[in-house]
């Protein structure tokens, strides 16, 4: 391996081939702290040409590559295994915004550009890049594309798939596919862009992308709404769609347990309503500078919700600061749960009509398997996506992390079985990584798994691109 490392140093420079454990530490453990491995080296190329040279060298040496963006993943998809023989390919130095075209509504960026920087570049030309995630200050576009990330704006704008027009990808043998075309129409064969989106680095390394931009939405009408249960939240979604139409941008659900954790651990967090509720909805309408009537539409939504017992109370943001405070309650959940103690995370999708029954049934199941377990449930009702996370029971006021870890396998199996029975998906927007690869294969049909393996074999016959991720044993 000395020859390979020496060659990689000639490609990217000595300072960008990290072999010492202390230098690698931030790259071999994911955000959760649960998934950790060892790397032969962490290599930090600065251009597509350097990525291609690194991949080609690893291909010749038979060395596996783990592509990595902002390392904000939750399922172990961007960190190496424990063997110490894989190269982590970090794209963090590739942060160039290559082009912005407000008329065509496109932005072309390196894969290492942080999501918040893409949003800012769009804003500077009066446009909107609508993807919004809690980790937007550190996650990268390459990682967003590789996992087909979602976020809070999916209801209006769709997943990452809907936001990407073209890609630049380094293939497993080091060749570069230049698909950086901002065309809305291209009917000339297989859609290779969509093939690589959501592939989690198992088919190649995304190095650049052409993304869609939209008219800016500086006007907002935002409310934090208390609802009695999930069924009421789903019904409220229909009311909001009827009154707000295309202006409905966000419809998030949060249970009381999630809010309590935020209030306990997020400095400055305040409950916006006097009386507690079991469930809440964060509802936001968004419009362009010429759109009027958002406040009236929101009042119509809330008025009908109260009259029909779908809502018991609501707090309406009257200023940008109040809007930010309401959003902080939603966006602070993941960090607050991490501070609280051990977490068992599940990112599931179900048909919207089944959400209420599913939450009630699974709640009883997990309570039976681990008495006192605390479901921290939140997510995107508008697209059926729930983050059904579990916090450990409290014993004498302290989180019993060992109890949760001991019961984790049984709890996850029960949740996944319930998702499958409800015709849902065990991964909505976080990818499969290493954590869910085997489970996903078990719930898919043999035909579907065979097709996925055939694609992998065709593009990466050596199995060197992120092995063990997405497909077990591949």
Rounded Cα gap, residues 450 and 444, in angstroms: 10
CATH code of the domain containing 124: 3.30.465.10
Predicted TM-score (pTM) of the model is 0.93
Q: Which of 71, 114, 70 is nearest to 96 (CA)?
A: 114
Tell me the sheet residues that pair with 300: none
Residue 398 has pLDDT above 80, yes or no: yes
- Give pLDDT, residue 466: 97
Does residue 25 lie in a domain region? yes
Residue 474 has pLDDT above 80, yes or no: no
Output the CA–CA distances (angstroms, integers) from residue 429 to 150, 197, 200, 243, 262, in the order listed.
5, 12, 12, 28, 22
Where is the domain boundary, 28, 56, 90? 90
Does residue 365 lie in a domain region? no
Phi-psi region of 148 (alpha: psi -120 to 50; beta: other; left: phi over 0): left
* Parent domain of 243: 219-334
Mean pLDDT of 467-471: 92
Where is the domain boundary, 179, 200, 215? 215
Does residue 353 lie in a domain region? no
Nearest-Å Rg of the Cα atoms of the chain is 23
Rounded Cα gap, residues 383 and 152, in angstroms: 10
192 and 288 fall within a common domain = no
71 and 156 fall within a common domain = no
- Give pLDDT, residue 74: 83
Does residue 347 lie in a domain region? no
Mention every residue, 6+ apart, whose C-beta is less than 8 A from residue 332.
262, 265, 266, 269
Residue 431 has pLDDT above 90, yes or no: no
CATH code of the domain containing 250: 3.30.70.2190
CATH code of the domain containing 46: 3.30.43.10
Where is the domain boundary, 53, 68, 90? 90
- Total domain count, the chain: 3
199 and 175 fall within a common domain = yes
- Give pLDDT, residue 21: 95
176 and 200 fall within a common domain = yes
Does residue 359 lie in a domain region? no
Average pLDDT, whole number, for the chain? 95
- Confidence band for 49, pLDDT divided at 50, 70 and 90: very high
**Percent of the residues in the chain that have a pLDDT greater than 70, as a whole number:** 100
């Amino acid at each position: 391996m000395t020859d390979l490392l020496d060659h990689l140093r000639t490609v990217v420079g000595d300072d960008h081939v990290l072999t010492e454990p202390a230098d690698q530490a931030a790259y071999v453990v994911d955000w959760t702290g649960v998934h950790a491995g060892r790397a032969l080296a962490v290599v930090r190329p600065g251009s597509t040409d350097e990525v291609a040279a690194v991949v080609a060298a690893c291909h010749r040496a038979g060395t596996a590559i783990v592509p990595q963006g902002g390392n904000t993943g939750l399922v172990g998809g961007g960190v190496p295994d424990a063997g110490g023989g894989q190269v982590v390919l970090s794209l963090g130095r590739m942060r160039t915004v290559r082009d912005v075209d407000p008329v065509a509504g496109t932005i072309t960026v390196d894969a290492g550009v942080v999501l918040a920087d893409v949003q800012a570049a769009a804003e500077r030309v009066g446009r909107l890049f609508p993807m919004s995630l809690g980790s937007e200050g550190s996650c990268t576009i390459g990682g967003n594309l590789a996992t087909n990330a979602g976020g809070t704006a999916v209801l209006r704008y769709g997943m990452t798939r809907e936001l990407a027009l073209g890609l630049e990808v380094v293939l497993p043998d080091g060749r570069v596919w230049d698909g950086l075309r901002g065309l809305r129409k291209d009917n000339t064969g297989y859609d290779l862009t969509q093939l690589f989106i959501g592939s989690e680095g198992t088919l190649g390394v995304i190095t650049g992308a052409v993304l869609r931009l939209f008219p800016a939405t500086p006007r907002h009408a935002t409310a934090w709404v208390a609802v009695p249960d999930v069924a009421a939240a789903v019904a409220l979604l229909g009311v909001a769609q009827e009154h707000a139409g295309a202006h409905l941008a966000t419809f998030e659900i949060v249970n009381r347990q999630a809010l309590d954790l935020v209030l306990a651990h997020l400095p400055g967090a305040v409950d916006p309503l006097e009386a507690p509720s079991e469930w809440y909805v964060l509802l936001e309408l968004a419009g362009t500078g010429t759109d009027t009537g958002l406040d009236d539409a929101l009042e119509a939504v809330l008025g009908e919700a109260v009259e029909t017992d779908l809502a018991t109370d609501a707090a309406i943001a009257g200023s940008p600061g109040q809007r930010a405070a309401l959003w902080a309650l939603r966006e602070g959940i993941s960090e607050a749960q991490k501070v609280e103690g051990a977490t068992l995370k599940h990112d599931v999708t179900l048909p919207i009509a089944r959400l209420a029954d599913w939450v009630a049934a699974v709640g009883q199941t997990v309570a039976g398997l681990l008495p006192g377990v605390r479901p921290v449930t939140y997510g995107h009702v508008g697209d059926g996506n729930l983050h059904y996370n579990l916090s450990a029971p409290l014993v004498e006021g302290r989180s019993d992390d060992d109890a949760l870890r001991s019961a984790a396998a049984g709890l996850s199996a029960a949740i996944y079985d319930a998702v499958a029975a409800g015709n849902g998906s065990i991964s909505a927007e976080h990818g499969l990584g290493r954590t869910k690869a085997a489970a996903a294969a078990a719930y898919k049909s043999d035909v579907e798994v065979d097709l996925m393996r055939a694609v992998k074999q065709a593009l990466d016959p050596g199995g060197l691109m992120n092995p063990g991720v997405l497909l077990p044993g591949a």
